Amino acid sequence: MSNKRLTPVLVALIAALVVLLAVLIGGRLLNGDRSLLRNVVVRESTITPNADGVEDITPIRYELSRNASVSIYFDDADGNRYFFRDDKARGAGEYNVLFSGVVDGYRLADEPVEGEILSRLLRDGDYTWTVEATDFDGVSEIAQGTIAIAGADSQLPEVRNFTFDRHTFTPNRDGIDDRVLMQFYLPKEVAALRVFLQMPDGTEVPITEQERDIPANMPGRHYYDYEGGVDSGETPPPDGTYTIVAEAQDAEGQRVRVTNELEIRHGGVPRAEIFSPPTGNTVEWSATAVALCDTVYFTMTVQNYGNAPIRTTGPEPGVVYDSDWNYNTLGWFTESGAWRAAIGFENELTNYPFRWALGNPEDLELIDGHYYLMPGKRAVITGGIRVVDVFGNRNPQPLWAGLIHEDVQITEFNNRVDSQQILVDIPDDTNRQDCEPREIPVRSLSQ
């Protein structure tokens, strides 16, 4: 009697177990097993990473059933470990990466390679590869196998002897230390070559190669000319010390980086103007007519409205020229990058023959032996021209002011400013007398 009662219960339990087993088996068939790392395949057992297009790479495939961090590394026969991926976060899913023999940079013992090796080929030999995954609960699973490296290009894309002709420069177009010449030697052809200034926020300011006899990326000495972008009207990086980086990558994917330090001082785009007051003339002339042998005087104001100091050179304001002199007569020859206020006229033999400094020493700041009109400052420029003959072929003759950035430019708004007709009163030939000679205020060696 009791056996008959138990039979239905036993049948029900067996049925429940069968259903549960079916559900589990069905779930497993539907969702796969619950292992973290699955279906790991490294397709090739040997690769020859030499950029010849034959057996250079192998795919590495794997699958994650849940989020994990993944490392892929290679161990040589001596137990040295080389990382291809090091603890990289990955979501659940299938992955397929291409391995070309390049791993994170490493250095051989006593190897005289300059700078930092960012990535490098494994050297020829047999390796054990490992794909390792660790989930957020700390559960780890690995898959392993072997691979051989053969015919690898062992030469690194080195950047040798990365040097500058100066380590402090002033990119402000004043003609003094405005540029830095950088150079280095490449022992092998590379696929990519970058030189840049590293900004504090991590952005990069590219520096362009100055190609000479060696084409870009080819073995040989390479030169880079850096002026802070000022030649293109760009504002250079703020004053400070920066890291300059040179990075080369070869066809196999090996990368080498070297660095050097560079200080920028007094940088900026020089900007100045002949100031136009709210009322009155921009240039004040003492007369519109002058007798022969008398002097016509002028007054104007120059303003540095930029963010860079402006270098200037003499003669000082107040100097009086004879009309048949010029700035060379006084010994103040053209200086590349210097600024000067000037007076010119039509039919002049020399462009703007009469030139003056942008202020007296008390208006200027002495920096490394040179005088500068500092940003935001103004200077009043005065001077005179003793008229010993007519100006050119016309009388009256238009005279005008200019602001010259010597050997660089005269901007349009600083050229032929406030033209004024000046009449020279010339006696007839019977009453004309030569002007009294005077000593030329020639520049002394100490100036």
- pTM, whole model, 2 decimals? 0.81
Confidence of residue 224 (pLDDT cuts 50, 70, 90): very high
Q: Alpha carbon of 412 to those of 25, 229, 263, 402, 429: distances in Å?
A: 86, 22, 33, 10, 41
CA dihedral 130, 133, 139, 140 (to 10 degrees): 0
Residue ranges and CATH numbers for the domains of the chain are 37-149 (2.60.40.2550), 160-264 (2.60.40.3880), 272-425 (2.60.40.10)
Confidence of residue 1 (pLDDT cuts 50, 70, 90): very low
The whole-angstrom separation of Cα 422 and Cα 420 is 6
Q: Is the pLDDT of residue 24 over 50?
A: no
Radius of gyration of the chain (CA): 39
3-state helix, strand, coil in the chain (%, to 5): 10, 45, 50
Contact 47, 63 (CB under 8 A): no
Q: Is the pLDDT of residue 249 over 50?
A: yes
The whole-angstrom separation of Cα 300 and Cα 273 is 11
Confidence of residue 276 (pLDDT cuts 50, 70, 90): very high
Report pLDDT for 140.
97
Q: What is the pLDDT of residues 161-219, one digit of tens each?
A: 999 999 999 999 999 999 999 999 999 999 999 999 999 999 999 999 998 999 999 99
Across the range 102-117, mean pLDDT stands at: 95
Going 368 to 373 to 374 to 375, the CA torsion angle's sign is negative
